[in-house]
Amino acid sequence: MRGKTVLLIIGGGIAAYKALELVRRLAERGVRTRAILTKAGAEFVTPLSVSALTGEKIYSDLFSLTDEAEMGHIQLSRSADLVVVAPATADLMAKMANGLANDLASTSLLATDKPVLMAPAMNVRMWESASVKRNREILEKDGVLFAGPNDGEMACGEFGPGRMAEPLEIVAAIERALAIEGPLAGFKALVTAGPTREPVDPVRFLANHSSGKQGYAIADALARAGAETTLISGPVDLTAPQGVKLQRVTTAREMLAACEAALPADVLVMAAAVADWRPDFAANSKIKKSTDRVVPLIKLVENPDILATIAQSAQRPRLLIGFAAETDDVVPNAVAKRARKGADWIIANDVSGDVMGGDRNRIHLISEAGTEDWPDMTKSEVGIQLAARIAKTLKGAA
């Protein structure tokens, strides 16, 4: 994205503080940011802090004689490659959807001839209201792009959709909006996600609590980085990320067969929580409770070890990454797993809490070079950071 310019409109919401981090992340990528700070936005972040990070003058007043003389609102709205509204409040969405223009932000949105990306942020009840839904439909029909919102806890204490996307998620959306070729363009990626289900009979199965969220986030990040990405998913209630080829499976044996059929690949990230065992026999009809209360004996047999199998395959990917979900001795167990399975990297995380169903994760990257402890972050951020490390490694080995 180096050399591009973004016009950032900062709306009035508590999430405005994330706009400062967004500016910093864009600067790391060589993107110049010019900012419009709304009057409401200035209640949450100061013009000085925004100016210090952008290195630019801050614009806020439609009727400023100086600003209009230096760079009128028409030129301001068209001088960037992309207009980003973060946070995009219900008010800003309503103004743009209905063509209202009574301040610098709304006037610039109406006057721009460049793509617009909105990162909504508002209370869950506001986001789910009929008027906001209607305005979003209008904006999407008009070609406006969206990043988020996410589910999460609000500043008001409520929980649900309406939380502004994290800065790195917005950066990824900006990259897509500008149609920039990502660092993994030309590479092929394969990701597994979710649990497997091993049938006992037609109505019962053995499984685990994996939500699939981390695997889906990794597949999304890899695709955004330009990789041709295939996602092999166990049974979860998630939508395939944009640009990702999705193949659904149920059992561990089906997942292994799907992985082998999808090879060769440059990188394989095995985030799926594959069942270690399965019943040696699955009944064709429901096993009924006996009148004498005898509990049926279910004999378990070991499932194929997908990671170890592919590590020894003639089509082994250039970079083979496994996951280690642990409840105790997380790093030592992951180090041992990497050596035992023959993986290049192992991503270890502690699943003794709500990690399998939650939206955040704290991982340890185990490689030949040692252990990297990553800070707590959203699963989307883990995916983005991991995709960046994968790109650096693959390009360095090319």
- CATH number for position 385: 3.40.50.10300
Say whether both 140 and 25 belong to one domain.
Answer: yes
Alpha-carbon distance 173 to 88, whole Å? Answer: 15
245, 229 contact by CB (below 8 A): yes
pLDDT at 354: 67
Backbone CA torsion sign across 347, 352, 356, 361: negative
* Residue 182 included in any domain: no
Q: Is residue 92 part of a domain?
A: yes
Indicate whether 183 belongs to any domain. no
Residue 397 has pLDDT above 80, yes or no: no
The answer to whether 156 is a known catalytic residue is yes
| Domain match, 173 and 220 both | no
With 0-12 / 13-18 / 19 or more C-beta atoms within 10 angstroms meaning exposed / middle / buried, residue 203 is exposed
Please tell me whether residues 153 and 261 are part of one structural domain.
no
330 shares a domain with 200:
yes
Span 103-114, pLDDT tens digits: 999 999 998 988
Mean pLDDT value across residues 154-183: 80
What is the identity of the amino acid at 349? N
Any idea which of 18-22, 52-56, 61-65, 281-285 has the lowest mean pLDDT?
61-65
* Residue 387 located in a structural domain: yes
Cα–Cα distance for residue pair 134/128, rounded to 1 Å: 10
* Mean pLDDT for all residues in the chain: 90
Under the banding of pLDDT at 50, 70 and 90, the label for residue 77 is confident
The pLDDT value given to residue 68? 57
**Other CB atoms within 10 Å distance of the CB of residue 134:** 12
Is the domain of 236 the same as that of 374? yes
Residue 67 CB contacts under 8 Å (≥ 6 apart), including other chains: 59, 61
12 and 49 co-located in one domain: yes
Same domain, 97 and 240: no
Domain of residue 137 covers 5-177
End-of-domain residue from the set 131, 154, 177: 177
Q: Judge whether residue 73 has pLDDT over 70.
A: no
- pLDDT tens digits, residue range 358-387? 888 999 999 999 999 999 999 999 999 999
Amino acid at 20: L
Residues 63 and 41 in one domain: yes
Quote the CA–CA distance of 219 and 229 in Å, as a whole number. Answer: 7
Task: Label residues 368-383 b or e (16+ Cβ within 10 Å = b).
Answer: eeeeeebeebbbbbbb
Where in 89-149 does DSSP place strands (E)? 116-120, 145-146
319 located within any domain: yes
Q: What is the largest CA-CA distance in the chain?
A: 91
Kindly tell me the burial class for residue 148, based on how many C-beta atoms sit within 10 Å of its own C-beta (0-12, 13-18, 19 or more).
Answer: buried
Which residue would you say has higher pLDDT here, 289 or 266? Answer: 266
pLDDT at 25 over 70: yes
Q: 155, 156, 300, 301: which is the annotated catalytic residue?
A: 156
The string of DSSP letters for 326-374 reads: ESSSHHHHHHHHHHHHT-SEEEEEE-SSSTTTSSEE-EEEEETTEEEEP
Q: What is the pLDDT of residue 156?
A: 64
Choice between 279 and 179, residue whose per-residue pLDDT is larger: 279
Query: Tokens 């360095």 identify what position?
Result: 396
**Residue percentage of the chain with pLDDT more than 70:** 93
**Is 245 inside any structural domain?**
yes
186: left (phi over 0), alpha (psi -120 to 50) or beta: left
Predicted confidence (pLDDT) per residue in 38-66, tens digit: 999 999 999 999 999 999 888 988 776 56
Report the domain count for the chain. 2
259 vs 96: CA distance, rounded Å: 46
In this prediction, residue 76 carries a pLDDT of: 80
Token couple for 53: 């990070």
Q: Is the pLDDT of residue 116 over 90?
A: yes
- The CATH number linked to 103 is 3.40.50.1950
Percentage with pLDDT > 90 across the chain: 67
Decide which of 125, 147, 177 is a domain's last residue.
Answer: 177
Q: Are residues 160 and 212 in the same domain?
A: no
Last residue of a domain, one of 158, 177, 196: 177
What pLDDT is attached to residue 398? 54
- 3-state SS of 250-302 is CCHHHHHHHHHHHCCCCEEEECCECCCEEECCCCCCCCCCCCCCCCCCCCEEE
**pLDDT interval class at 172 (50, 70, 90):** confident
Give the pLDDT of residue 256. 98
Write down the pLDDT at residue 141: 87
Residues 127-149: tens digit of each pLDDT: 989 999 999 999 998 889 998 89
Residue 272 contacts residue 234 (beta carbons within 8 Å): yes
Residues 208, 136 share a domain: no
In this structure, the answer to whether residues 233 and 317 fall within a common structural domain is yes
